[in-house]
Structure 1
Amino acid sequence: MADKSTNSIELKVLADKGSNKVIFIEPGNDFVDVLFSFMTIPMGTIIRLARKHSDPVAIGCMNNLYASVENFDDQEFWMHTCKDMLLHPRNAADSQCNALKLKLDDAKPRRYFMCCRSCNFLSYYKNIRCPCTRQNVMDEERSFSFCASQDGSVFVKGQTRFTVTDDLQVIPPSSSANSVFTKLHVMDVDAMEELTINIGTVEILNLLMCSLVSKTPLTETLLKPKQDPKWSSTIFDQAIHIESHMSGDSMNDEEDKICLNLVVSKSKKIVCYAEAGEDFVNLLFSFLTLPLGFIVKNMKNGSLKGCIRHLYQTIQDLDGEYMISDRHKEMLLDPKLVPGFCYKNSLLGIEETSYYSYYSLFSYTFTTDRSLFPSEPDKLKLVSSDSVDLSAQGFLKRPAKFVVTDNLVVRPISRILELQVLKDLNVPVTDIEDQIVHVGKKEALHLLLASFLCDSALTNTFIADLREPKQEQ
């Protein structure tokens, strides 16, 4: 088993001496596991980690959403823990990610509490009243069961020697050497040099950030670490393409749609701001809880300057024999939310994972993996710190009204603020008009992708003739 106590990973790197670029690396499974884990990381965590970078990356409008949550008064949220849920969202695969040799997320491990072993209620908070018939205090801490592979691997099977290209395509050993060399244009052996480089969490964070904005993230991370990449203020490259995998994506289903009032500049054909209720802002803030893999899943190739889509495609195309199980592959390609982080009015169609427990005479097992149980396990219901079901509420108190700018800065409604937005945009009051739009599943997904890719999310989503925003110079 690999030693998980060390804080670095050794990489064998083949580089082009003339151009000082990585041609490919031959890493161990510990590195590939870390690479694949990128898909499970919630956007709020990525934004928080990006702030630690020497040259922080602006990820579309996501940074503005994160800052908006930070600036909100705690009284705006219906439950005191909601703000922390958005600023420090939990990873549904955190048990796997905690077993990685290098961990990006420095959040404290979750704790779990029940009132007794036979109870089917679970809480992240100690000493709250259990809603079961006993009404006991939930003070018995439970340990999460994680079934690690015998060789210490997390997602991919051990002792597999992959080849990873500069643009994060992971090539399995079954590919012929000739096809690999041809694909990577390896011609002059004398122009190549082999390097051994040790990387830690700083380099892994840099690699994650580079994967969003660069086609050569390994070169940027391993060979040019002293040259701070010139991050663009947006990671948008081409027009946004929606590739919906959601069911029930009907445009005629008015029941689940959110009403939104847009204030539009008639001459500039842009959305200046929106006047929105808490239901729309709940949708926006929920973007921070979404894992990166869910967003990448709904994008087509060519939508990003970076190459994170290549990594997703690699996992999708990788033969199942290289993964620990089909479930592990699904965790990366179709990542879910932690229980309690989704709400019933969410339009994006992402699912929560489930907690299961099984109690026998000799042991108690609590996990998300149903395959660990010899028979049908009990499904646990999550209880919040206020003994209220979060799924029925969202994050914000209701009713409430907010101003949402085109780049998704969210603040409580204020006419003075609205005038300031118009002044900043150089839009006279005589040039504005109201437009009522309805946000359904299709619009919600488009808004999500726009918020990730560009800095004019409302205009890109709702103004039809501006659906192809200009690339920032």
Structure 2
Amino acid sequence: MGSATSKVSLKLMIEPKGGGRVLYAEAGKEFVDFLFYILALPVGTFIPLLNQEMVGSLGNIYDSIANLSTTYLRPNVNKDSLLKPKAYFSSGTAGFPLQLPNVESSRKLYKCCLNVFERKAICGCGSSMSRESKYIGPPSANNPYSSNVGDYVKGEVTYMVMDDLAVKPLSTTSLATVLNKFNVKDTGVLQEKVVDLGVEEVLKLLKASLLSKSVLTDVFLPVF
């Protein structure tokens, strides 16, 4: 299962005016990879992590599945495949220190006839898919069975992560655009603050990303 194996740092650029807000953060590859990794996770992994503290009704769908008698499920449907979906990431992926806790990963495939599934199931021919199969294909970040999953952006680049988690390379042009957007005339008024991310911060970021357009401010400014 995934875990945050080491700390990752962010440099927050804060505008103190009006109670304070994070204009943007300077981030390295590790943090940007983590943000992209979130998008690749099955939605069902979010709800247990957040203790169902979500705006909306996804938690109700989760509870409905948990409470539904197997009498109403098709024979080849396993509840755990919906309630505890597996993400295709190895917990030891090099260069990928930030991961969500308790996210199960799997690289196993099972086959029967010409069908291949990520879990043991009943094939269309009626036989059990119990034979393990290997995926053969070119390794790439888009291939969920590749060892490169979780390794999305180039290193040795500083990225600008906005308060709403929009990501772009940090450059003179992108910085000028942000300062102009927020009507910041003097960069000297901005405060710098370096924060470390571990398991607790990762979960707060995940929750805030589902609820807010000011994620970095909501997660990190209350500590100041």
Query: TM-score higher than 0.5 here?
Result: yes
Give, in angstroms, the shift of residue 10 of structure 1: 0.8
Structure 2 vs 1, CA of residues 50 and 165 (structure 1 numbering), >3 Å: closer, same or farther? same
Question: Residue in 1 aligned with 2:7?
Answer: 8
- State how far apart, in whole Å, the 1-side matches of 2:25 and 2:182 are: 12
- State how far apart, in whole Å, the 1-side matches of 2:165 and 2:122 are: 48
Q: Give the counterpart letter for 1:43 in structure 2.
A: V
- State how far apart, in whole Å, the 1-side matches of 2:57 and 2:122 are: 39
Query: Equivalent of 2:153, from 156, 161, 165?
Result: 156
Give, in angstroms, the shift of residue 195 of structure 1: 1.1
Point out the more displaced range, 184-193 or 22-31: 184-193
Give, in angstroms, the shift of residue 207 of structure 1: 1.5
SS of 2:10's equivalent in the other structure is strand
TM-score by length of 2: 0.74
Question: Residue in 1 aligned with 2:25?
Answer: 25
- State how far apart, in whole Å, the 2-side matches of 1:137 and 1:183 are: 56
- State how far apart, in whole Å, the 2-side matches of 1:57 and 1:5 are: 22
Q: Give the counterpart letter for 2:39 in structure 1.
A: M
Give, in angstroms, the shift of residue 90 of structure 1: 3.7
TM-score by length of 1: 0.38
Question: Does the 8 Å contact 1:211/1:217 carry over to 2?
Answer: yes
Query: Equivalent of 1:173, from 170, 173, 177?
Result: 170
Q: Give the counterpart letter for 1:33 in structure 2.
A: D
Question: Residue in 1 aligned with 2:73?
Answer: 77
Q: Give the counterpart letter for 2:213 in structure 1.
A: K
- State how far apart, in whole Å, the 2-side matches of 1:96 and 1:140 are: 18
The percent identity for this pair of structures is 30
Structure 2 vs 1, CA of residues 106 and 141 (structure 1 numbering), >3 Å: closer, same or farther? farther
Structure 2 vs 1, CA of residues 6 and 111 (structure 1 numbering), >3 Å: closer, same or farther? closer
The C-alpha deviation readout for 1:196-248, integer Å capped at 9, x for no partner, is: 1101232122122212222211011112259xxxxxxxxxxxxxxxxxxxxxx
**For 1:275-424, what aligned pairs fall within 5 Å after superposition?**
none
Give, in angstroms, the shift of residue 172 of structure 1: 2.2
**For 1:75-154, what aligned pairs fall within 5 Å after superposition?**
75-79=71-75, 81-91=77-87, 94-95=88-89, 99=93, 100-104=96-100, 106-113=102-109, 120-125=114-119, 138-140=130-132, 142=134, 146-148=146-148, 154=151
**For 1:190-205, what aligned pairs fall within 5 Å after superposition?**
190-205=188-203
Give, in angstroms, the shift of residue 140 of structure 1: 4.5
Q: Give the counterpart letter for 2:54 in structure 1.
A: V
Question: Residue in 1 aligned with 2:209?
Answer: 211
Structure 2 vs 1, CA of residues 202 and 189 (structure 1 numbering), >3 Å: closer, same or farther? same
The C-alpha deviation readout for 1:389-410, integer Å capped at 9, x for no partner, is: xxxxxxxxxxxxxxxxxxxxxx
Question: Does the 8 Å contact 1:45/1:105 carry over to 2?
Answer: no
- State how far apart, in whole Å, the 1-side matches of 2:122 and 2:78 are: 19
Question: Does the 8 Å contact 2:4/2:99 carry over to 1?
Answer: no
Structure 2 vs 1, CA of residues 110 and 73 (structure 1 numbering), >3 Å: closer, same or farther? same
Q: How many residues align?
A: 209
The C-alpha deviation readout for 1:149-193, integer Å capped at 9, x for no partner, is: 9xxx71222222111121222232355143332123333444322
Higher gyration radius (CA): 1
Question: Does the 8 Å contact 1:20/1:223 carry over to 2?
Answer: yes
Question: Residue in 2 aligned with 1:403?
Answer: none
Q: Where does structure 2 lack aligned partners over 5 or more consecutive residues?
A: 137-144
- State how far apart, in whole Å, the 2-side matches of 1:122 and 1:11 are: 41
Question: Does the 8 Å contact 1:15/1:194 carry over to 2?
Answer: yes
- State how far apart, in whole Å, the 1-side matches of 2:64 and 2:171 are: 48
Structure 2 vs 1, CA of residues 74 and 80 (structure 1 numbering), >3 Å: closer, same or farther? farther
Question: Does the 8 Å contact 1:17/1:192 carry over to 2?
Answer: yes
SS of 1:186's equivalent in the other structure is coil
Question: Does the 8 Å contact 1:15/1:21 carry over to 2?
Answer: yes
SS of 1:205's equivalent in the other structure is helix
- State how far apart, in whole Å, the 2-side matches of 1:130 and 1:41 are: 26
Q: Which gives a bigger RCO, structure 1 or 2 (Cα 8 Å, sep 6+)?
A: 2
